Structures are given as C-alpha cells and as structure tokens.
C-alpha cells in the first residue's frame, strides 16, 4: 500500500525528525515558526495524486533521500552552517594571529590559504619560490611551520579546512603529526583537504604530477583517512575553481561530479567499500550572481549525487548519498572598480547559498580584487553571515523556496543539463581522458569567452564596470601588504629546522617513500604512512614533493585555444 504525503510526513516527524531533535534541539527562536511546508500547506488534496507523487519522488523530506530539501532533518533550526573566512598570509606565526582574531570574532572553523610555493610543492628557499613566499597565503615548509600555524588552536574542537591540492597529503600529514605532539589522536581531528587535483588541470593550474599518479595519491589519502582519520574529509571536490574559470553552473556541477566519480572508482579499486569512504567526501562550490539559479543549483546537486550513489554505486548508507558542501562566494564576480559594491554582491550570493541549503560558507571579501583582505574586510564578511543567520528570518524555515514553480523548474533543468555533460564525460572514458584530450578545458574556455563577450558588449551589466561608472573615483579601501621581511624570516626558520633535525632519519624516511612511490599502485602499500613518517622526521615539503617529481615526472598540459 502506497502511503499518502500526509502519512509520509507524519512518519518523518515521528522518526528522522524526532531523532534529530533529540540529538540537536532546535533554537528557541525557531520554534515560533512552522519548520516545513509541503503541497499540503498550499491546499493539495488526497485526490491530487500526481502532485503528491511528484513531491515524494523529487523533493521528499529533509534528511531523507534524495535530499533535495537538505541533508539534515532540521537544517539551520538546530545549528547554522559553519562560518569560515579564507585566510592565511606571511609566516605561520603571522597567519596564526589572524586565525585567533577570526575565532575571537565568532568564526567557527578555519579555512587556510597557502602561498603559491606551498601549493606547488616548493620550499621557501627554492629559487622558483622567490617573490611568492607568504604573498597569496601562508608559507608552510615543514612540520615546524604547521606547529606554529596551529599554536593555541584546539584541534579537537575546531575544524580545519585547507585549500591545498597536489601536496594535500603532505599538509594533512603535518596536521596529524601536530595533533600527535599535542596529544590529539588522528581519530579526533576534524577538517577537510581539498585534494581535488583533477580540477587543477582544467581550471587552476597548481598541479605537479601527471593525472594518473596524482589520482593514485588522492585515492591513497582517501583510503587512509577512511580507516585512520575517520572524522576528516579526505577530499573536497571543487566546482568552485571550475566556475571561477568561466564555466556555466551546469558545467561546474557536471565536471566536479565527473571528477569525483574518478576518485571513487580509484578508492573502490583499493578494496574500500563505498559506504566506508563516501560519507567523508565533501565539496566546495562557487555561488555567483544568478540568485535563484544558485539556490536551485545546490538542491539539484544533492538530488543528482544521491541518485548516482544509490543507483549506480549501490550505496546503502544515507550518509554516503548526502552531498555536503562548503561554498565560497564568487571570486570572479568581485570588481576592483567601486569595491564596496562587492559587499552587496557577496551578501546576495551568501543568502542564495543559505536558501540552497549549504553546510559551510566563506565570503570573498570586498577588497580581494585588489589585494589580500584586510581584517576589516574579513570581519565585514563574517558579520554578513551572522546577519543572515540571526536577523532576516531565513533560517527558521527549512528550504523555503521549495514549491516555487520557478525554482523547481531551475532545479530540474540544472540537474538534466549536468547529467547530460556527465554522460558525455563517461562516453570519453572518464574525467582523466576528458582532461588529457583538452575537451573539458575547452568547454570551460568557450563558456568564459561567451561570458566576457556579453560583458564587453553591454549585454550583461556589471555595476561600476560597464555601467554606472564614477569617473575619477577613489577606491576607499585600505590595501593589505604582507611584510616584505617574510621571505628572509621564513628562510632563516627553514635553515634552523634543517640544522636541528636528524639527517639520517630524514634520508631513511625519504628512501622508504621513494620505494613505495616507484612501485605500481598497491592497496597494501598506501603512500600516506611513508609520507607521515617523512613529515615526523621534519623532511620538508619541497623534499617530499621533489622526490615524487623525480619518480613520477611533471605534467605538461595540452594546448587549449
């Protein structure tokens, strides 16, 4: 016998909802509001069988498959999303001061930016790092720097998100080793590493090794975390950079999911069950200016991912099918002209994200088109999140846009467009083949060109850029400048670390890593343990990544016109 919508709603309230409220009571201010609205609240009758069937199949209830309406039964009525601000610059000690400031302002998790040298695996004293040390993020050369970066941060209570890709396994090993030295076991660490190297080939460029060994390293890290660092998200699959490179929303969705499927297949090949690691796959997406489209995007992403995991990968646990995502507001939408306008842009993007049901958020700051953000800009971005959480009434009702003809049509359309693109990638042999051929890069480049042409022609208006300019305007923002002494201070610190460590222990650890890396991929010989041993011996990031460069080579990209 098929249950009616009313009967299903009652069952949900008595089971999933009741259990959720017992674990995490709803906020007192939310209790004055009805938590969930369905077609029953719009006058649907038992005879409206088609309406009820559509609702139950396509939307369902929060915390239940297909998760269109959210991954938690109470969503923000019990707890808000994690509020982060992307931060990091200079030396580890300087970045630590900024983190402490942000935590003191009410931020609930860290989001760490690394400088370019760290992102591509060079030590700060490498000639190729000159001019980049500490400039676009914090410089991390060894375990000593990570210890300084996380000094005074309660690692068992604050989650740490790290935007790092090719060297992600090394930075994670540094966090694990730091926790060990402070008595916090790996089993209690919470956080995320981006570790999504495939999007680097198509959108961002901070890759090191060719795709095949890079996927091997990413998959070994995921497999290791599944069993040894169970609360850590061992990969944050990124649509963010794909979108900032100029993709459409559907391309952002599709290419991120296609990349995720490649990682999943590689982990499954290591003998790890889908339900053992899929719950710890996390995501980062990019919220731009199409307000309703962006809210619909997150609803479509959850439904699409849940369907794929259940129907194509045989996932059994609900947690495996949940797409949990961090978002950052669109960096590419920031303008250097009239930069204070960026406060409004980020605010609307953040509101769309909350209405879409995200789990974690950072706002791109109003001055980021000019320089690293100032403390004032970061505090303003954090306050914007807090205003949305507390002042405007959008967190008391779950998925308030559900049932809108417009939003539901957008949700369906984005899901269908993304599905078509995913099928195209599969037909090519998967994401690695689509990347190596240059097809995925070309799709993004074509979309970026069309978007730029629309701006230059005036078809798309960017306030303060191609319309409503203010001739001779002054930019009323302070510009943050990293300390020019960072390069010297960081290199002196690195020399001290090398002088204090045991050279024999470093050589032994690196030799063990070389042996595993040079052998064919083997589920019984995961790369993470020897990387962790090298980090514990205070081998530097450049030494570890340099060794892997020697073994695996460096990637040479195809030409994209």
Q: Mind giving me the DSSP string for 60-114?
A: --TTSTT-TT-SSSSGGGT-PPEE--EE--BSHHHHHHHHHHHHHTT--EEEEEB
Which of residues 431, 457, 483 is at a domain's end? 457
**pLDDT at residue 481, rounded to an integer:** 64
86 and 35 in one domain?
no
- Residue 20 in domain: yes
Rounded Cα gap, residues 352 and 201, in angstroms: 29
Which residue from 288, 290, 278 is spatially nearest to 324, judged by alpha carbons?
278
- Residue 54 in domain: yes
**pLDDT at residue 42, rounded to an integer:** 87
11 and 88 in one domain?
no
Whether residue 476 is predicted with pLDDT greater than 60 in this model: the reply is no
**pLDDT at residue 166, rounded to an integer:** 95
256 and 201 in one domain?
yes
Tally of domains within the chain = 2
Whether residue 154 is predicted with pLDDT greater than 90 in this model: the reply is yes
Of all residues in the chain, the percent with pLDDT exceeding 90 is 83
- Residue 382 in domain: yes
- Residue 438 in domain: yes
Which residue from 136, 189, 186, 196 is spatially nearest to 160, judged by alpha carbons?
189
With a CB cutoff of 8 Å and minimum separation 6, the contacts of 541 are 118, 121, 122, 123, 140, 141, 142, 167, 170, 171
211 and 161 in one domain?
yes
**Strand order from edge to edge, sheet including 281-287:** 82-83, 360-362, 324-329, 281-287, 235-238
304 and 262 in one domain?
yes
Strand partners, 191: 160, 232
pLDDT digits (tens, 9 = 90+) for 385-418: 999 999 999 999 999 999 999 999 999 999 999 9
Rounded Cα gap, residues 368 and 361, in angstroms: 17
- Residue 528 in domain: no
Of all residues in the chain, the percent with pLDDT exceeding 70 is 97
**pLDDT at residue 478, rounded to an integer:** 66
Is the CB of residue 209 less than 8 Å from the CB of residue 548?
A: yes
pTM: 0.92
321 and 176 in one domain?
yes
92 and 54 in one domain?
no
Whether residue 1 is predicted with pLDDT greater than 60 in this model: the reply is no
Which of residues 424, 457, 490 is at a domain's end? 457
86 and 52 in one domain?
no
Q: In whole angstroms, what separates CA 223 from the centre of its chain? A: 19
286 and 148 in one domain?
yes
- Residue 471 in domain: no
pLDDT digits (tens, 9 = 90+) for 331-384: 999 999 999 999 999 999 999 999 999 999 999 999 999 887 888 998 999 999
- Residue reference for tokens 């203010």: 470
Rounded Cα gap, residues 374 and 411, in angstroms: 37
CATH number of the domain at 93, please.
3.20.20.240
- Residue 150 in domain: yes
pLDDT digits (tens, 9 = 90+) for 156-215: 999 998 989 999 999 999 999 999 999 999 999 999 999 999 999 999 899 999 999 999
416 and 316 in one domain?
yes
Which of residues 457, 473, 507 is at a domain's end? 457
**pLDDT at residue 49, rounded to an integer:** 87
Structural domain harbouring 41: 5-59
**pLDDT at residue 104, rounded to an integer:** 87
- Residue 258 in domain: yes
188 and 146 in one domain?
yes
Q: Would you mind telling me the total number of residues written for the chain in this entry?
A: 561
55 and 160 in one domain?
no
């Amino acid at each position: 016998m098929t249950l009616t919508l009313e009967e299903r709603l009652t069952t949900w309230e008595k089971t999933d909802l009741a259990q959720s409220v017992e674990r995490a009571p709803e906020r007192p201010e939310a209790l004055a509001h009805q938590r969930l609205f369905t077609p029953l609240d719009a006058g649907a009758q038992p005879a409206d069988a088609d309406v009820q069937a559509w609702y139950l199949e396509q939307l369902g209830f929060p915390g239940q498959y297909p998760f269109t309406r959210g991954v938690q039964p109470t969503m923000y009525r019990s707890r808000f999303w994690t509020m982060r601000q992307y931060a990091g610059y200079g030396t580890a000690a300087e970045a630590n001061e900024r983190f402490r400031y942000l935590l003191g302002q009410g931020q609930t998790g860290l989001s760490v930016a690394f400088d370019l040298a760290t992102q591509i695996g060079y030590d700060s004293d490498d000639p190729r790092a000159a001019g980049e040390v500490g400039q676009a993020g914090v410089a991390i050369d060894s375990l000593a720097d990570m210890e300084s970066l996380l000094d005074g941060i309660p690692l068992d209570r604050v989650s740490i998100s790290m935007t790092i890709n090719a060297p992600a396994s090394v930075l994670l090993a540094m966090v694990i080793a730091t926790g060990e030295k402070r008595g916090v076991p790996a089993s209690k660490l919470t956080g995320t590493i981006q570790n999504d190297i495939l999007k680097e080939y198509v959108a961002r460029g901070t890759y090191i090794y060719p795709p095949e060994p890079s996927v091997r390293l990413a998959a070994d890290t995921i497999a290791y975390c599944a069993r040894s660092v169970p609360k850590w998200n061992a990969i944050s699959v990124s649509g963010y950079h794909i979108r900032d490179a100029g993709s459409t929303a559907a391309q952002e969705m599709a290419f991120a999911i296609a990349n995720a499927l490649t990682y999943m297949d590689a982990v499954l090949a290591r003998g790890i069950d889908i339900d053992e690691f899929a719950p710890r796959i996390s995501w980062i997406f990019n919220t731009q200016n199409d307000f309703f489209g962006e809210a619909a995007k997150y609803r479509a992403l959850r439904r699409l991912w849940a369907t794929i995991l259940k129907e194509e990968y045989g996932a059994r646990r609900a947690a495996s099918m949940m797409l949990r995502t961090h978002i950052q507001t669109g960096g590419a939408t920031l303008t250097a002209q009239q930069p204070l306008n960026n406060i409004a842009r980020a605010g609307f993007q953040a509101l769309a994200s909350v209405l879409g049901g995200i789990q974690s958020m950072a706002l791109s700051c109003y001055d980021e088109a000019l320089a690293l953000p100032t403390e004032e800009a970061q505090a303003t971005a954090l306050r914007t999140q807090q205003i949305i959480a507390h002042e405007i009434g959008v967190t008391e009702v779950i998925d308030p846009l559900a049932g809108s003809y417009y939003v539901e049509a957008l949700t369906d359309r984005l899901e269908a467009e993304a599905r078509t693109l995913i099928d195209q990638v599969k037909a090519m042999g998967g994401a690695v083949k689509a990347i190596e051929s240059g097809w995925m890069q070309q799709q993004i480049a074509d979309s970026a060109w069309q978007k730029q042409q629309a701006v230059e022609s005036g078809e798309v208006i960017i306030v303060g850029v191609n319309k409503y300019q203010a001739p001779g305007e002054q930019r009323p923002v302070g510009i943050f400048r990293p300390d020019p002494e960072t390069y010297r201070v960081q290199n002196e610190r690195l020399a001290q670390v090398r002088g204090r460590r045991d050279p024999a222990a470093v050589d032994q650890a690196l030799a063990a890593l070389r042996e595993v890396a040079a052998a064919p991929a083997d589920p019984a010989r995961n790369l993470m343990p020897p990387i962790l041993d090298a980090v514990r011996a205070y081998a530097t990031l450049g030494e570890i990544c340099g060794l892997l460069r020697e073994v695996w080579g460096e990637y040479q990209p195809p030409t994209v016109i």
